[in-house]
């Protein structure tokens, strides 16, 4: 899943995805909450940054890196997203001005 950032639709990206069996699923405009990476950023903020008062950038960086190492040891691939969902093949027109 990716946002509607222009480079995601470039021919070389589309060709590479096709060659590697990857389907790009775009989030609707202004729906960043649907993008999984946003939830990962929220977790970093919650576990490593909220309520913090690090004495230096190095200490803050160490806290973020520590969280990322902890998270990576416990992560699992996200699979079978939105099977049969309209987000893959919508039958409605997007809202455009």
Q: What is the pLDDT of residues 35-73, one digit of tens each?
A: 777 788 888 999 999 989 999 999 999 999 999 999 999
In the block, tokens 């992560």 appear at 75
Helix (H, G, I), strand (E, B) or coil at 2: strand
Taking the C-alpha atoms of residue 24 and residue 3, their distance in angstroms, rounded to an integer, is 10
Taking the C-alpha atoms of residue 37 and residue 34, their distance in angstroms, rounded to an integer, is 9
Higher-pLDDT residue of 22, 63: 63
pLDDT band at 88 (very low <50, low <70, confident <90, very high): low
Counts for the chain of helices (H) and strands (E), in that order: 3, 0
């Amino acid at each position: 899943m990716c946002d509607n950032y222009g480079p995601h639709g470039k021919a070389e990206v589309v060709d590479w995805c096709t060659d590697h069996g990857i389907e790009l699923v775009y989030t609707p405009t202004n729906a960043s909450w649907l993008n999984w990476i946003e939830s990962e950023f929220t977790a970093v903020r919650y576990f490593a940054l909220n309520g913090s008062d690090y004495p230096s950038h190095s200490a803050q960086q160490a806290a973020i890196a520590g969280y990322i190492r902890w998270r990576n040891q416990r992560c699992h691939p996200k699979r079978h997203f939105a099977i049969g969902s309209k987000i893959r093949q919508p039958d409605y027109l997007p809202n455009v001005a």
